[in-house]
């Protein structure tokens, strides 16, 4: 039988050529495929290659995210993967901190002796160590992005002694620049465990409270206080961003054993577990602490009467408090001699019956704090069973009255907010227990990775505590600043954010984006993706791309079209009703996207009889890149008007969101 000749249409050949150009990174795959196809006839071989090219062309046409060069290296070395999971070569360093502290509330002098065991898990030899000296924010001459009162300007952290593997460091190799300290001339090899011993002291700020300092004459929040080794990671090497007062922090997951010596009439709350309650508390207080953990009700552990009778702490001139915390990114402690303490237990895991004790510690004169224990325990419950529906990660969670709204591992420092503000801030700060304290993102560079989630929790969880808060969250800071000359893409590094769009770009805009993704995916798929992300990066350091790719993998959907628009581009949220076409009982409503922002479409049809109908379409309406979408509906009723948008649908121009019939 004679061999038949096959004539391939030019369009097929053109498609293959275009696909070759698009698929140049897959030449090795192509070569392998060609060799394997040698067993086939010429026609089958050609068709096999053709369909390979065509499928690759379709993939190539999907939206890809712009990747910075320092991340490209991470994918090359396989420390990270395009699935979003840590790569097979992922690593991170860690340390064990043993800290012995003495704090004098009268002089505000804090002194400490530290032993640090630092594990270099990186593939690099570390030729220097970088320490963070956060209290140097208050040092004369330090760079700051916030103002301080003159009486808080100090000499900064005094490093009294510093030994590396038992050897002192030459002064020329110990360089302090602002809040960074560099120890040069080291040789810490891959896999090496290094011991550092140092002694330090500084004066805690009396005013100018910035996440830490004196609250009143008998209450203090002590945070970011100890010299700690900076993060060395696979993306940037050493984290050398200076702390200037606005940006937050990036820390390795470490173990802490901390002792704190305080005057005998002071109580202490801190990150971790108190290991010696019998040495510092009187028996009645110890019993109440234990009872609170096992009770769903509210226990008054320390009352004003207890304080008046001096029936709280052991009657010694000095009590030494011993705390231990494992695999946490930081350690903070708070002290007071006149605060009351309410607590309640919450079962956070129905399988193991593990319980978390929720504490609220505050000045009894501030009545606004009284309901906070209810808000706090409810937040812990919601995190454990609903959103995201994973057991609360810590044995304790304390809210302490301070002069800020700030999170620390297992600790929150909140002002005595009034009414609904107290709910929002309680939810927000406790939700930080997951981001960044379980999923350890870099707050300094990409604060949206934790602040976006915490802000999302405000308008998502707060109405579950108080239903009247539903649909009341103010998003005007976004709609008023979006598209302005101060507005920038969410992916802009946090230290570069200034002006009125700062809150919007690092907090509210990413929170709304997550809200829209949840609406599009539905709760089941959204939570599946969220839990997958948490599972993959618990106790690790994800980049924004790891988050994006994890959500793609966890949901089974490529959402790059949304991530690119919402996080990498500058836009204005502005949908408009452009045209309404009626044909008998059939209506077509053309919605225009005037600002380039991918938003869900919610159209409310109001009828003259007082009834209404809703027609909606998710953010994926815009995934095809078009700037117009058409919604259709049928109705025999007379329309009063059409209204575009819901309370959380951002829109900078509402004047084109209403349509009324001309004859009405």
Mean pLDDT of 267-282: 98
Reply yes or no on whether the pLDDT at 151 is more than 50. Answer: yes
Kindly state the percentage of the chain with pLDDT values over 70.
90
Q: How confident is the model at residue 43 (pLDDT cuts 50, 70, 90)?
A: low
Look at residue 128 in the predicted model and tell me its pLDDT. Answer: 97
pLDDT tens for 547-567 read 999 999 999 999 999 999 999
Contact between residue 620 and residue 629 where contact means Cβ atoms under 8 Å apart: no
Mean pLDDT of 432-450: 98
Q: b vs e for 532-550, b when ≥16 Cβ sit within 10 Å of the residue's Cβ?
A: bbbebbbebbbbbbbbbbb
Q: How confident is the model at residue 444 (pLDDT cuts 50, 70, 90)?
A: very high
Reply yes or no on whether the pLDDT at 35 is more than 80. Answer: no
Mean pLDDT of 431-457: 98
Mean pLDDT of 19-33: 36
DSSP label of 170: P
Look at residue 532 in the predicted model and tell me its pLDDT. Answer: 98
Give the list of residues 6+ apart from residue 162 with CB closer than 8 angstroms, or none.
Answer: 168, 169, 174, 183, 196, 197, 198
Look at residue 39 in the predicted model and tell me its pLDDT. Answer: 37
Q: How confident is the model at residue 63 (pLDDT cuts 50, 70, 90)?
A: confident
Q: How confident is the model at residue 19 (pLDDT cuts 50, 70, 90)?
A: very low
DSSP label of 190: T
Reply yes or no on whether the pLDDT at 417 is more than 60. Answer: yes
Rounded CA gap, 120 and 188, in Å? Answer: 7
Look at residue 545 in the predicted model and tell me its pLDDT. Answer: 98
Mean pLDDT of 160-176: 95
Reply yes or no on whether the pLDDT at 15 is more than 80. Answer: no
Cα atoms in the 13 Å half-sphere on the side-chain side of 622: 26
Mean pLDDT of 414-435: 97
Strand-by-strand arrangement of the 601-607 sheet: 612-617, 601-607, 639-644, 658-659
Q: What is the pTM of this model?
A: 0.91
Reply yes or no on whether the pLDDT at 68 is more than 50. Answer: yes
Give the list of residues 6+ apart from residue 483 with CB closer than 8 angstroms, or none.
Answer: 570, 571, 572, 595, 652
Contact between residue 253 and residue 272 where contact means Cβ atoms under 8 Å apart: no
pLDDT tens for 307-323 read 999 999 999 999 999 99
pLDDT tens for 108-145 read 999 999 999 999 999 999 999 999 999 999 999 999 99
Look at residue 662 in the predicted model and tell me its pLDDT. Answer: 85
Reply yes or no on whether the pLDDT at 21 is more than 50. Answer: no
Look at residue 664 in the predicted model and tell me its pLDDT. Answer: 53
Reply yes or no on whether the pLDDT at 2 is more than 50. Answer: no
Reply yes or no on whether the pLDDT at 429 is more than 70. Answer: yes
pLDDT tens for 499-534 read 989 999 999 999 999 999 999 999 999 999 999 999
């Amino acid at each position: 039988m004679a061999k038949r000749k096959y004539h391939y249409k030019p369009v097929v050949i053109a498609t293959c050529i275009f696909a070759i150009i698009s698929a140049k990174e897959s030449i090795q795959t192509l070569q392998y495929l060609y060799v394997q196809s040698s067993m086939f006839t010429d026609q089958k071989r050609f068709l096999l290659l053709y369909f390979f090219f065509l499928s690759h062309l379709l993939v190539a046409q999907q939206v890809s995210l712009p990747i910075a060069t320092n991340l490209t290296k991470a994918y090359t070395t396989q420390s990270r993967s395009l699935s979003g999971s840590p790569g097979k070569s992922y690593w991170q360093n860690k340390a064990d901190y043993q800290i012995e502290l003495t704090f004098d509330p009268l002089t505000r002098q804090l002194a400490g002796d530290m032993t640090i065991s630092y594990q270099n898990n990186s593939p690099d030899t570390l030729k220097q160590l970088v320490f963070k000296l956060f209290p140097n924010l208050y040092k004369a001459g330090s760079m700051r992005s916030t103002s301080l009162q003159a009486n808080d300007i100090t000499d900064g952290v005094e490093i009294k002694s510093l030994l590396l593997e038992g050897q002192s460091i030459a002064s020329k190799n110990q360089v302090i620049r602002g809040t960074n300290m560099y120890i040069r001339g080291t040789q810490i090899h891959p896999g090496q465990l290094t011991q550092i011993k140092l002694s330090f002291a500084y004066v805690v700020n009396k005013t100018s409270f910035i996440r830490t300092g004196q609250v009143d004459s008998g209450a203090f929040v002590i945070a970011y206080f100890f010299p700690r080794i900076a993060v060395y990671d696979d993306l940037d090497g050493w984290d050398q961003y200076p702390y200037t007062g606005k940006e937050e922090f990036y820390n390795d997951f470490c173990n802490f054993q901390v002792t704190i010596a305080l005057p005998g009439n002071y109580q202490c709350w801190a990150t971790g577990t108190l290991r010696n309650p019998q040495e510092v508390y009187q028996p009645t207080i110890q019993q109440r602490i234990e009872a609170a953990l096992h009770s769903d009700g509210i226990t008054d552990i320390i009352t004003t009467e207890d304080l008046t009778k001096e029936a709280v702490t052991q009657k010694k001139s000095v009590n030494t408090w011993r705390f231990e915390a494992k695999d946490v990114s930081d350690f903070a402690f708070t002290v007071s001699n006149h605060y009351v303490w309410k607590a309640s237990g919450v079962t956070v895991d129905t399988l193991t019956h593990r319980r978390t004790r929720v504490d609220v510690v505050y000045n009894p004169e501030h009545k606004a704090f009284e309901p906070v224990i209810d808000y706090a325990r409810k937040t812990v419950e919601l995190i454990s069973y609903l959103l995201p529906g994973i057991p609360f990660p810590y044995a304790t969670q304390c809210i302490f009255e301070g002069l800020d709204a700030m999170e620390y591992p297992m600790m929150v420092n909140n002002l005595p907010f009034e009414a609904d503000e107290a709910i929002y801030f309680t939810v927000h700060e406790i939700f930080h227990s997951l981001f960044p304290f379980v999923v350890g993102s870099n707050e300094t560079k990409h604060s949206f990775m934790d602040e976006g989630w915490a802000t999302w929790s405000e308008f998502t969880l707060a109405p579950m505590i108080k239903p009247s808060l539903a649909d009341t969250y103010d998003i005007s800071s976004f709609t008023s600043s979006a598209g302005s000359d101060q507005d920038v893409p969410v992916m802009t590094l946090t230290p570069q954010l200034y002006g009125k769009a700062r809150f919007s770009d690092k907090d509210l805009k990413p929170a709304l984006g997550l809200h829209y993704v949840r609406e599009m995916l539905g709760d089941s798929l959204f939570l599946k993706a969220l839990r997958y992300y948490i599972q993959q990066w618990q106790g690790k350091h994800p980049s924004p791309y790891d988050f994006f790719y994890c959500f793609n993998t966890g949901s089974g959907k490529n959402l790059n079209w949304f991530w690119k628009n919402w996080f990498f581009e500058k836009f204005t949220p502005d949908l408009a009703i452009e045209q309404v076409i009626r044909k008998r009982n059939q209506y077509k409503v053309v919605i225009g996207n005037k600002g380039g922002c991918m938003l869900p479409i919610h159209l409310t049809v109001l009828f003259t009889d007082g009834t209404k109908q809703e027609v909606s379409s998710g953010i994926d309406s815009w995934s095809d890149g078009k700037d117009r979408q058409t919604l259709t509906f049928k109705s025999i009723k007379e329309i009063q008007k059409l209204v575009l948008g819901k309370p959380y649908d951002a829109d900078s121009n509402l004047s084109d969101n209403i349509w009324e019939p001309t004859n009405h």
